[in-house]
Structure 1
């Protein structure tokens, strides 16, 4: 298996690396044209990597054919760009299926694989590690991000386990950390004999602390990517006060929305509709129904941040 050696993934998979949402029509049918529009607009915000499918993509509500179609569309838009990396996620529970899906992602042209550990019915830590090892070995040398999302999955991993996996499988290159709080694990991963860089998830609620402890980027949803890019650019310039000020303004919204994954998915789609990216904010059932006050909160968010968000500023 070949690795995308023409792309500098250490440079590309850092900073802001959004997880793509999936638009549906009002009747619940997939909207592929809306998806390609999302990819175009998110890339226009100045990011160098994208991930699909994640929780924000409603991966658990897509059938295999839909997943493959959208993966192909993403790679079609990124394959020939040396300034962009496509990270294809493999959230499948069965090890056999995860291996097959990871190999298929590589075949389609993914620049890296994001690997969500199995979690249904609480597999043991040894079983989880065995699953990760099999997928890492199958796609070697394709680079891999291991996603640690204990709040969503209940899976327990720690820095020694991840360092051991990385020592055995050099293609384990990053860890997406979504523990609460994430900072200690990020620092422990960065301090190992072979430091493992981290991307912080969970909408970047703890982004400043994560960056101070060594995180190399953030993987939020995609509907207001510009705000995260602004924070990242301030931080990179050494302007911590401006980065913190913007993050602090976002926190009242993020802390409410991140109480429930389906809630933040519904919110992000409403924002994208307001931006004109696609026509329907439909989320496949079961999902979260926004009430009048939550819709008003989205209105306030859009009004407050319009100067920084393309389309809303018009």
Structure 2
């Protein structure tokens, strides 16, 4: 089932579960997929920034992607295929699409500086992976140091019919969403799906600006699903109340890099979604003080959302 421009809902960015010795924990992959499905996820994204993809070899990446695709049982799975060169990107893309992936996500290399460089890169990337393969633009300037204006994104969309989605992670970025939807309204850009990242940090207002949902990896993806659903149902205050209750923990998890991932995996392990909070080296782990702070935030959150008080250990 290929990815289409009308995709909506929540596509959690899946971390890669590891055992303490660095081996991939395939049983936890299965339990995580089952959890995502049970809470209302409409798709999944694998091998993203928080999936520790650079720590995997090619065979591992394909095996993980295949595991997700098979276990998801029809839910669309997007695979991150960003790579320094097009040969590796094209190879992984062909392999995962043959396995049944819905599409791929492509982040820009940090060497791109001008608008022309950015648009040429995506045109060449589309040609390399095959112009029939649906792809997602990952717009994450805080990590990739590539600034994409709405005009540049519009040009990429218009030049590449296989571009069907924007993963919007610019910050602040609410006006960018409004501008892109304005392009769509005036007919200067064809419709695409917009899913938002940044741990969902601005999701409450992003969906009000026209985003179709979230593609991110907060340890409570069920909350993200609920917020998107409540907004779609017109229950604005309920959506904001739930989001506001999670905001302190969500903010704490937004610490950059391996530390933020350590928080996410720690909470997911507590919830029983995965078995261990281990990262493959080089990685990070939480200090006793940091764990105490997370536990404090969970206890406070549990007063408003009982899910935070249910742990598997």
TM beyond 0.5: yes
| Contiguous gaps of at least 5 residues in structure 1 | none
Q: Give, in whole Å, the separation in 2 of the partners of 1:48 and 1:139.
A: 25
Does residue 171 of the first structure (1) align with residue 165 of the second (2)?
Answer: no
> What corresponds to 1:51 in structure 2?
45
**Aligned residue number for residue 131 of structure 2:** 140
Equivalent residue runs for 1:113-262 within 5 Å: 113-119=104-110, 121=111, 124-137=114-127, 138-192=129-183, 193=188, 194-221=190-217, 223-262=219-258
Q: For 2:161 and 2:218, locate their aligned partners in 1 and report how far apart those are by CA, in whole Å.
A: 29
Contact 1:95 1:131 in 2 (8 A): no
| Kept after mapping to 1: 8 A contact 2:17/2:26 | yes
* Residue of 260, 269, 282 corresponding to 1:273: 269
Cα distance in 2, alignment partners of residues 248 and 310 from structure 1: 17
Give the root-mean-square deviation of aligned CA atoms.
Answer: 2.2
Match runs of 1:26-41 below 5 Å: 26-41=20-35
**Per-residue deviation, 1:289:** 2.8
Given the alignment of the two structures, is residue 298 of structure 1 paired with residue 288 of structure 2, yes or no? no
Quick one: distance in 2 between partners of 1:116 and 1:249?
32
Cα distance change of structure 1 residues 144 and 122 upon mapping to structure 2, 3 Å threshold: closer
Out of 33, 47, 57, which is 1:63 matched to? 57
Instruction: State the 1:312 CA deviation.
Output: 3.2
State the distance in 2 between where 1:117 and 1:95 align: 12
Q: Determine helix, strand or coil for the equivalent of 1:180.
A: coil
Equivalent-residue separation in structure 1 for 2:97 and 2:114 (angstroms): 28
Deviation at 1:72, TM superposition (A): 0.7
The answer for the alignment partner of 2:71 in structure 1 is: 77
**Among candidates 97, 100, 107, match of residue 106 of structure 1:** 97
Deviation at 1:302, TM superposition (A): 3.6
- Do 1:182 and 1:200's aligned partners in 2 also have CA atoms closer than 8 Å? no
Using structure 1 for the length normalisation, give the TM-score.
0.89
For residues 160-211 of structure 1, give each alpha carbon's deviation from its aligned partner in whole angstroms, at most 9, with x where no partner exists: 1221121121111111111111212111222222243311100111112211
Shift of residue 50, structure 1, vs aligned partner: 0.3
